[in-house]
Amino acid sequence: MGYLGGFRVTLRQMGQPRVTTEYPKEKRIKAERMHGRHVLNRYEDGMEKCIGCELCAGVCPARCIYVRGADNDPLDPVSPGERYGFVYEINYLRCIHCDLCVEACPTEAITESKLFEFSFVDRADAIYTKAELLVGDDGRPQQLPWEDWSDADDVAEDSSAWVRATAASGDARYVGKVAWSGELGFGVKEPELTVASYDELDDEEDAAEGKADVEALDGEVEVGDDHDHGDHGHGAPGAHL
């Protein structure tokens, strides 16, 4: 075709299907580990997971998290530990959704949902406080008036799964193990395989056999919990006094 080849290419594209997603009308399925806005998780009994350690604020590269810890009232504790976060604020005008806070958190208290469609018109609205970040009694993130939840089936379903992205490479004990746990609250995900365990799967000739292996691994999910935060939430609050 020489010089005119390009013209045929462009003309042929005219009949091809379009690649555009008409965004507000149709929404793409979000990536498995998409970083959206945060939620502050709670235990099944309603206790907050946050212990006010401020590690998230310390690790935050955008300096958008403000946490103040306070001692629990022994008679009416907010969290199972000694302390709890009595101020928890995230400024979404600064947050870069890097998820480092999620990785730093020792109690899986802060995680990121897939919600990202929150366009506030007031700077004050950009600062989400504990009142907005804390999950409801049903474990769902709270919907704020300016948030678009039209595809909640996708973005809210898996919205509070805790992902420790560096686990497999960072800690020898995670090799071949399921690297994150679904915590309590809304949307507990099926455990996901680490990179290392996928490598093992590739060696297997039979895919079905591989699946059986994965199920066998399920029992060992607790590994991460041993050194992280133990099992505080499941006991009665009074037991820790």
Applying CB under 8 A, the residues found at the interface with another protein are 6-7, 9-11, 13-14, 16-20, 22
Closest approach of another protein to the CB of residue 10, in Å = 4
Closest approach of another protein to the CB of residue 151, in Å = 20
The C-alpha atoms of residue 175 and residue 223 are separated, in whole angstroms, by 11
The C-alpha atoms of residue 168 and residue 161 are separated, in whole angstroms, by 17
Q: CB of 69 within 8 A of CB of 50?
A: no
DSSP conformation class of 87: E
Q: CB of 200 within 8 A of CB of 213?
A: yes
Task: Please identify, using beta-carbon distances, which residue of 18 and 123 lies nearer to another protein.
Answer: 18
Q: 7 burial class (0-12, 13-18, 19+ CB within 10 angstroms)?
A: exposed
Task: Please identify, using beta-carbon distances, which residue of 22 and 73 lies nearer to another protein.
Answer: 22
Distance in angstroms between the alpha carbons of the first and the last residue of the chain: 83
Closest approach of another protein to the CB of residue 13, in Å = 5
The C-alpha atoms of residue 152 and residue 141 are separated, in whole angstroms, by 11
Closest approach of another protein to the CB of residue 23, in Å = 11
Task: Please identify, using beta-carbon distances, which residue of 6 and 74 lies nearer to another protein.
Answer: 6
Helix (H, G, I), strand (E, B) or coil at 90: strand
Task: Please identify, using beta-carbon distances, which residue of 9 and 87 lies nearer to another protein.
Answer: 9
Closest approach of another protein to the CB of residue 6, in Å = 5
The C-alpha atoms of residue 113 and residue 140 are separated, in whole angstroms, by 10
Task: Please identify, using beta-carbon distances, which residue of 19 and 208 lies nearer to another protein.
Answer: 19
